[in-house]
Structure 1
Amino acid sequence: MLIVRKTERLEGEINAPPSKSYTHRAVIGASLAEGTSKIKNPLNGADCLSSVHGCRMLGAEIDIKEDVWIVKGGKLKTPEDVIDVGNSGTTLRILTGVSSQIPKGYAILTGDSSIRRRPMQPLLDALKQLNIEAFSSKEDGTAPIIVKSGKLKGDKVKIRGDVSSQFITSLMMTLPFNENDTEIILTSPLKSKPYLEITMDILDKFGIKVEETERGFLVYGNQRYRAIDYIVEGDYSSSSYLIAAGILTKSNITINNLFENSKQGDKAIIKIVKEMGADIKVKKDKVIVEGDYNLEGIDVDVKDIPDLVPTIAVLGCFAEGKTTIYNGEHVRYKECDRLSACAKELSKMGAKIKEKPDGLIIEGVKKLKGAKLNTYHDHRLVMAFTVAGLKAEGETVIEGEETVKISFPNFIEVMKTLGANIEIK
């Protein structure tokens, strides 16, 4: 477990961890490209390594070095065994589509207990429209998922846009193998659109053309992925905890490798904290935080930024007035129900926080007290609650700290480098 004690000052210059979203898509794109690609500055986190494992099972040769992955791709094969994606929903969703293009037989994908509860039926229904047989072995729309090799057919596919953008990313990365141009038609309002902009950005780099339409997206048919060298940018989602920690303590922190023109939706953390009153500085490829700041509560629409909810919830606890998080029904379908978890656990620290169907209402109390917190095997809760513990009176005990390996493997070491009073026991 992680012990967090009140910390007065944080100081230092650090590099943002590489983007999880970009790393996933880059290694899968490289695995589909004929020839050799180099993925530079990849995230060596558990989730992204699940994508490496899945791509290897599907025929890619991937040589992992410390700061570069060398990927030989372009030849899909029928996997020898079940593909275990661990805790990675992104891997499960994207490879469910991609694995339909193996030359023969079946691919079976499963994961840990959390993954085996996450919804898959909208993607399975979409693949069926495209002549692909894919189904839940339990017949309840969750993993294990069995996918039969098949030829893509059809020029349109309908899918919901409000459950997970990963379903649409899966279609975008699979449909270039269709002979026809295919329109993805959204049957409900789109949420988490910035993740699809990341997908389209990566696909463009690999030579794949996708366009936005009035009804959804158009993926051109009969395309081929081309091998590239690609540098992964820093991750705004993971950096949100560093930014929040700096905002709440006396600090002088510089976070490098955060691109000002990034397509990451979670870049919105900059706008959000500025609106709350934190006058942080943004340079071309870095963010400078010189806290602490007096924060004011605001209303935040999290439709496109579900991963920022735990960070915003913690900041809201220390703000003056009310912070309202809304439009976040899909936040309940992450590694855990993050709305419920944030409300329950932060309340243990003395937060005034009320759960509603699509979000949270937080009355700022400015002071929290240390408590023993459950993180429900969710890496983002571990990091957000650590930030809360740095500002809380007394000692905060956080269970399940090992899950940070999913997206920010050296989070604890980085926080210690900055001067955080934390230790593992």
Structure 2
Amino acid sequence: MDVIVKPTPSLNGEIGALSSKNYTTRYLLAAALAEGTSTIHYPAHSEDSDAMRRCIRDLGAVLEEDDSKIVIQGFGSHPRDVRELNVGNAGAVLRFLMGVTALCPEVTFVNTYPDSLGKRPHDDLIDALGQLGVEVQHEQGRLPITIKGGQAKGGHIRVSGSVSSQYLSALLFVTPLLAEDSTIEVLNDLKSKVVIGQTLEVLEQAGIVIHASDDYMSFRVPGGQAYKPQTYTVQGDYPGSAAVLAAAAVTQSDVKILRLMEQSKQGERAIVDVLRMMEVPLTHENDVVHVQGNGTLKAVEFDGDAATDAVLAMVAAAVFAEGTSRFYNVENLRYKECDRITDYLNELRKAGANVEERQAEIIVHGRPEGVEGGVEINAHYDHRVIMALTVVGLRSKEPLRIRDAHHVAKSYPQYFDHLQALGASVQWVKE
């Protein structure tokens, strides 16, 4: 379905942040890898986290869920022998489970999103799994991918971090369960180091011991470990909240978002700092971000590597800032559900934004007077692009029609409901 976003001068009210998708998927996997019963309070519901639920159930975990928690009986280091797994369009879930299924005899990950996840490469993880003695069949690094495991062994593993940190996270989840000790050496640069911090935080909570270098470029992993059943509480999600905060920043607003931890390890927490740099009036106290926007913003320069999933929302705010903004060190945006630099900027131009791209940069020449809008734009099946383009539509002179906006459910199914609750003029329409 499409959504029409109409110019909206003001937003008011308060909402609770949705639960973190990143933490939910990691807690679900840690619970599945434990022998015993774990409880996760306030788990996220999105296409990504639901894909992890579905797959760990297929692998033998038993899940019982009510409105506020999920109870999981894990399969430990002995997942069920399954032939196929369907992760939908969830890249992180695919990569994490490519590591875990090294414990299985043979599993094929099917390709149900050929125009999105089906185009994304996984060569670096495939190469690393080969170093564990796992045979991987694939289509030039892409889905469908068959993992022939069951005989995985620890040792010295080299993995590139230049495309995605998810490859490293996959290895960190599985290597503690192998009989042998492992060392993991990260080659090249490591993108999104802050997300590795989240993985290590979850693993520590699950009782797993990993010795990491300060720069996260090398790790010592003792083998023969066991995940412990635990009780986890999922914190509020900064990546999804970033778009709502950006929407409040570009309008006349009085908006509060609850459940956003001030000391969170989520890199996207930087959205608060960036909006402050843009001179947006806001406070962040007692896990509540309170934005009192006046629609006036200043340009910024920002290294986006540590806040990948908030950069598009930052760019949307910068479209209306006074001056030229620059978001750099963001090349890994090109390897997401779509090319989040070229594809996103093309749609912004249709709406009337003045933007430029470099290989690893986004440059925004702000238009404080607003943009024209009045066009139909393509979100490329990408939830982050949908959310960010919506922010632009709120400040456009004429409505924007965003194609296939229902794909926002990948991470934030309630996004448009939350915006409407704050007073945004958005309307669902059939294609």
Deviations 1:18-71 (A, max 9, x none): 001000000011000011111111111011110111111111111232321111
Query: Equivalent residue for 1:391?
Result: 395
Query: Equivalent residue for 1:424?
Result: 428
Contact 1:36/1:70 (CA < 8 Å) preserved in 2? yes
Residue 85 of structure 2 aligns with an amino acid whose one-letter code is I
Deviations 1:336-365 (A, max 9, x none): 001012210111111111111112111111
Deviates more, 1:41-50 or 1:272-281: 272-281
Q: Is 1:401–2:408 an aligned residue pair?
A: no
Runs of 4+ in 1 over 4 A off after TM superposition: none
CA positional deviation for 1:284: 2.6
Deviations 1:355-390 (A, max 9, x none): 111121111112112221100000111111111111
Query: Equivalent residue for 1:323?
Result: 325
Q: Is 1:175–2:175 an aligned residue pair?
A: yes
Distance 1:79 1:424 in 2: 42
2:132 to 116, 130, 133: 130
Distance 2:197 2:385 in 1: 25
Contact 2:154/2:175 (CA < 8 Å) preserved in 1? no
Q: Which sections of structure 1, spanning at least 5 residues, go unmatched?
A: none
Query: Equivalent residue for 1:90?
Result: 92
Residue 414 of structure 1 aligns with an amino acid whose one-letter code is H
In the superposition, relative to structure 1, how do residues 178 and 81 fare at CA in structure 2: closer, same or farther (>3 Å)?
Answer: closer
CA positional deviation for 1:79: 4.1
Distance 2:276 2:81 in 1: 49
| SS in structure 1 at match of 2:271 | helix
| SS in structure 1 at match of 2:343 | helix
Query: Equivalent residue for 1:107?
Result: 107
Distance 1:29 1:154 in 2: 19
Distance 2:195 2:187 in 1: 18
Query: Equivalent residue for 1:251?
Result: 253
| SS in structure 2 at match of 1:305 | helix
CA positional deviation for 1:293: 4.5
Contact 2:269/2:307 (CA < 8 Å) preserved in 1? no
Contact 1:313/1:342 (CA < 8 Å) preserved in 2? no
| SS in structure 1 at match of 2:49 | helix
Distance 2:62 2:80 in 1: 14
Distance 1:222 1:385 in 2: 47
Distance 2:159 2:30 in 1: 22
Residue 390 of structure 1 aligns with an amino acid whose one-letter code is L
Query: Equivalent residue for 2:372?
Result: 369
Distance 2:136 2:380 in 1: 30
Aligned length: 421
Q: TM-score, normalised by structure 1?
A: 0.96
Distance 1:118 1:349 in 2: 27
Query: Equivalent residue for 1:147?
Result: 147
In the superposition, relative to structure 1, how do residues 149 and 155 fare at CA in structure 2: closer, same or farther (>3 Å)?
Answer: closer
Deviations 1:74-107 (A, max 9, x none): 25334444111001001100000001113xx201
Query: Equivalent residue for 1:48?
Result: 49
| SS in structure 2 at match of 1:393 | strand
Contact 2:11/2:252 (CA < 8 Å) preserved in 1? yes
CA positional deviation for 1:264: 0.4
Q: Is 1:284–2:286 an aligned residue pair?
A: yes
Residue 6 of structure 2 aligns with an amino acid whose one-letter code is R
Residue 189 of structure 1 aligns with an amino acid whose one-letter code is D
| SS in structure 1 at match of 2:306 | coil
Distance 1:316 1:45 in 2: 28
CA positional deviation for 1:402: 0.7
**For residues 347-358 of structure 1, what are the structure 2 equivalents within 5 Å?**
347-358=349-360
Distance 1:121 1:62 in 2: 32
| SS in structure 2 at match of 1:146 | strand
| SS in structure 1 at match of 2:270 | helix
**For residues 303-342 of structure 1, what are the structure 2 equivalents within 5 Å?**
303-342=305-344
Q: CA RMSD in A?
A: 1.3
Contact 2:194/2:266 (CA < 8 Å) preserved in 1? yes
Distance 1:95 1:131 in 2: 16
Contact 1:110/1:116 (CA < 8 Å) preserved in 2? no
Distance 1:81 1:302 in 2: 39
Distance 1:134 1:227 in 2: 30
Identity %: 34
Contact 1:152/1:177 (CA < 8 Å) preserved in 2? no
Distance 1:251 1:358 in 2: 33
Q: Is 1:164–2:167 an aligned residue pair?
A: no
Residue 191 of structure 2 aligns with an amino acid whose one-letter code is K
